[in-house]
Amino acid sequence: MRPLTILSVSKLTDLPKRILIGRALRSDRLGETLLPKRIALPVFASDPLSSVAYAPGEVLLVLSIAGVSAYHFSPWIALAVVVLMFTVVASYRQNVHAYPSGGGDYEVATTNLGPRAGLTVASALLVDYVLTVAVSIASGIENLGSAVPFVVEHKVLCATAVIVLLTLMNLRGVKESGKLFAIPTYVFVTGVFLMIAWGAFRGLVLGDEMKAPTADFEIKPEHQGLAGFALVFLLLRAFSSGCAALTGVEAISNGVPAFRKPKSKNAATTLAMMGLLAVTMFCGIIALAMTTNVRMAENPAKDLFDNGVAVGSDYVQNPVISQVAEAVFGDGSFLFIVLAAATALVLFLAANTAYNGFPLLGSILAQDRYLPRQLHTRGDRLAFSNGIVLLAGAAILLVWVYGADSTRLIQLYIVGVFVSFTLSQTGMVRHWNRHLATEKDQAKRRHMVRSRAINAFGAFFTGLVLVVVLSTKFTHGAWVALLGMVIFYATMSAIRKHYDRVAAEIAAPEGPSDDSVRPSRVHSVVLISKIHRPTLRALAYAKLMRSDTLEALSVKVDAAETKALREEWERRGITVPLKVLDSPYREVTRPVIEYVKGLRRESPRDVVSVIIPEYVVGHWYEHLLHNQSALRLKGRLLFTPGVMVTSVPYQLESSEAAKKRAGKRQNWNAPGSVRRGPAEQRPKEPSAPKKG
């Protein structure tokens, strides 16, 4: 049996890793990564703030089905979205004060409505976070594509590249990525407010006529003269599309632990700032779109007409915000270019809301044993790296499947977030009911009653919107989001059942058990293929164990090699018996497994200890040059009851050289040292008792 090779990969991966994500941070520096409000706003609210770049356009796209005449409903739809936004923000301000631990909607639903409701909320949020990345990146690519044709021609490739870049930025840590995202977010917000103010000044004070580039276009309605139920359904669908402006509001309640103290107060203040900014920008863009006569169509090539002629497939329909900016600032002006660039960039960065929400929620779910425990571990930069990578992989898959088309992706959107909104607010009502049943202080009771009223109205309103969204968007793609929620729910339930089953299986019993009873005898078997230093070291170790029986085991694959092994064994006078297993089909694993199982059958109360010599190498390519049959054998033996597998390492010179190179690097830490904590803070190994 040839020795197994241990690959030293630290040098191979450490340098590129440090270049991409930076030096590892100690666990006791976690407090340094907490966010002030000015950084937390772009980190957690970039999604709802940036949604004003496409939410108004989605409203007009839906209304265009009935023609330009339906556009006069857009201010009323905007008003409904504003009422809903303020309701949700007010409701979540109660959440962050009552549940500041970071569980957000999941914790609220689980605590007050039960584990199934909590798991439903978690499934909805996970789907929504993935969609947030996909929609934001696809929308940003389309905005950028109006200026750079290459981006439009290679949408999937460019979207994937942006997702990878955002992933690397977030792997560097929340605070560091937040600083990078703050500037373009604030430039975008400032630019939109400046556009609204200048547009209002030009229109109301100067009396200028501002015209969007599509102002003279005509729209061919798909359904002429809608009335009655059909018109109501169209308006509800437009309203549900406009509700995209609310996505990401829940991220702040999930990210309370990332704020500086006082955490709840800072999170609530950030929520209020986000809500006020988002609704002002949303309403301002809708108003300017009506003033400048913006025209949008779901199928512009056929439904948009310029001087009675269809614009054709070559026409690129710019977003509403771009058309409004061109009308207010002028095409090619400095402010227009700055706002266009900031819009594209902030749409990319809007995905950062999900990059902070998804890993944190995944960590909490992993702690509750609904997701793999690896998602609960912080990476080198104290971010939940595994969750970040998982989110990126899911978003890339979605972008690839839907061709980075934001119009198709937007139909899947907001279903999950309104499921979490509704269940969370319902849970908060139960939360206040439970506390009111025991609270005697009248001042606190009045505060609780007021909070309950806010959450009750929020639950009713968001539940109503959820029904509207499902009824208007189900056939347009919302069923895919629901399917994703079902898949997440089933997967997490299965993972929890597995962890519960394993926990019950390995739980230590109160009384004596077979695992604590000393075995009758120990049979040690050393696997060898030829006599060399690793073999001699393994034999010496096996003798030290003082087993009841000890033998060396080899498999006859080549007759000449086996004969040479026997001769040298006798020449050296090795006292350990050598047993050779015949293998007519030149297999190594099966004969050894069958032999070990045979020992177990003969003496079920005995234990078989299989000892495998291993190489330790220092270069990745050396791992590829050595036989890996022992690795396969080791994997099979681990599934055999009553068999203990022991590795005896033998360090080659290359491993020593790699160790010296690693030691020369400043502040070098062994793999996992950040998670274990600094050496001076770890408990020391107990020293052996002195004799005499």
Task: Please count the residues of the chain.
Answer: 692
CA–CA distance, 379 with 491 (Å, rounded to integer): 24
In whole numbers, what is the pLDDT of the chain averaged over residues?
Answer: 78
pLDDT at res. 546: 82
Q: How far is CA 473 from CA 145, 193, 414, in A?
A: 27, 31, 10
Q: How far apart are CA 417 and CA 246, in angstroms?
A: 9
Handedness of CA 395, 397, 402, 405 (dihedral sign): positive
Q: Which tokens in the block code for residue 244?
A: 């995209």
SS3 of residue 669 by DSSP: coil
pLDDT of residue 224 exceeding 50: yes
Give long-range contacts, CB 8 A cutoff, 24+ apart: 202-205: 202/328, 203/291
Tokens standing for residue 482: 């629901």
- Of the candidates 661, 677, 674, 657, the one whose C-alpha atom is nearest the C-alpha of residue 22 is 674
Q: What is the pLDDT of residue 683?
A: 41
Higher pLDDT, 94 or 526: 526
- What was the pLDDT predicted at 513? 52
Instruction: List 609's β-bridge partners, or say none.
Output: 524, 644
277: CB partners within 8 A, 6+ apart = 45, 49, 189
Q: Which residue has the tokens 């209020």?
A: 272
Tell me, what's the pLDDT at 584? 79
Res 266 pLDDT > 70: yes
E strand or H helix that includes residue 401: helix 385-401
Q: Which helix (H) or strand (E) holds 625?
A: none
pLDDT value for 662: 58
Please identify which residue in the block is written with the tokens 């809301």.
Answer: 353
* 24/529: higher pLDDT: 529
290-321 residue pLDDT tens: 899 888 887 777 878 888 788 777 777 778 88
Q: Which of 560-564, 581-585, 627-631 has the lowest mean pLDDT?
A: 627-631
Residue 275 has pLDDT above 90, yes or no: no
Report the number of secondary-structure helices (H) and strands (E) in the chain.
Answer: 28, 9
pLDDT value, residue 45: 72
Contact 7, 658 (CB under 8 A): no
pLDDT at 626 over 70: no
The least confident of 139-148, 259-268, 594-603, 654-663 is 654-663
How is residue 256 annotated by DSSP?
G
User: Is the pLDDT confidence value at 354 over 60?
Assistant: yes
Q: Which two tokens stand for residue 222?
A: 């798909």
On the question of pLDDT at 24 being above 60, the answer is: no
At 532-553, the pLDDT tens digits run 888 888 899 999 888 889 999 9
pLDDT of residue 677: 41
CA 416, distance to chain mean position in Å, is 16
Run of H or E residues at 612: strand 607-616
Q: Is the pLDDT of residue 512 over 70?
A: no
Kindly list the distances between the CA atom of residue 480 and the CA atoms of 62, 180, 419, 420, 488, in Å, as whole numbers in the listed order: 20, 34, 15, 17, 12
Q: What is the pLDDT of residue 430?
A: 92
262 cis-preceded (ω within 30 degrees of 0): yes
Q: What is the dihedral of CA 570, 574, 577, 580, to 10 degrees?
A: -50
Q: Say which residue, 262 or 576, is predicted with more confidence.
A: 576
* Cα–Cα distance, 29 to 614 (Å, whole number): 38
Nearby residues of 660 by Cβ (< 8 Å), 6 or more positions away: none
Burial, 459: exposed, middle or buried (Cβ in 10 Å; 0-12, 13-18, 19+)?
buried
DSSP 8-state class, residue 36: -
Handedness of CA 317, 319, 321, 322 (dihedral sign): negative
Asked whether the predicted pLDDT for residue 110 surpasses 80, the reply is yes
Instruction: For 357-416, write each residue's pLDDT tens digit.
Output: 788 888 888 888 888 877 776 655 456 778 888 898 988 998 888 887 776 776 677 788
Q: What does each C-alpha distance from 97 to 1, 257, 271, 571 come to in angstroms?
A: 63, 12, 12, 80
Beta bridge partners of 305: 218, 310
Region for residue 613 given its phi and psi (left: phi exceeds 0; alpha: psi -120 to 50; beta: otherwise): beta
Q: Which domains does the chain have, with CATH numbers?
A: 34-436+449-499 (1.20.1740.10), 522-662 (3.40.50.620)
pLDDT at 674: 39
Per-residue tokens: 642: 């009553």
Quote the Cα angle for 329-334-340, to 5°. 75
Distance from C-alpha of 524 to C-alpha of 545, rounded to nearest angstrom:
9
Does residue 204 register a pLDDT over 70?
yes
How high is the pLDDT of residue 506? 63
Highest mean pLDDT among 218-222, 466-470, 481-485: 481-485
Backbone dihedral region for residue 257 (phi beyond 0: left; psi -120 to 50: alpha; all else: beta): alpha
Q: Compute CA distances 289 → 75, 210, 243, whole Å.
A: 10, 10, 18
Amino acid 310: pLDDT: 80
Q: Which residue is associated with the tokens 């198709």?
A: 408
Mean pLDDT of 103-111: 84
| Type of residue at 165 | L
Amino acid at 609: S
- Give the pair of three-digit tokens for residue 667: 């502040």
Decide: 273 and 189 in contact? Cβ < 8 Å.
no
pLDDT at residue 566 greater than cutoff 80: yes
DSSP letters spanning 515-564: TTSPPS-EEEEEE-SS-SHHHHHHHHHHHHTT-SEEEEEEEESSHHHHHH
With bands split at pLDDT 50, 70 and 90, how would you rate the model's confidence at 492?
very high
pLDDT for residue 526: 93
* Model confidence at 418: pLDDT above 60: yes
pLDDT in tens, 77-105: 889 888 888 888 888 888 888 887 766 78
Gap between the Cα atoms of 202 and 208, Å rounded: 5
Closest CA to 250 of 425, 118, 413: 425
How far is Cα 523 from Cα 30, in angstroms, rounded to an integer?
49
Mean pLDDT on 450-458: 88
With 90 as the cut, is the pLDDT of residue 183 above it?
no
Say which residue the tokens 């002030």 belong to.
36
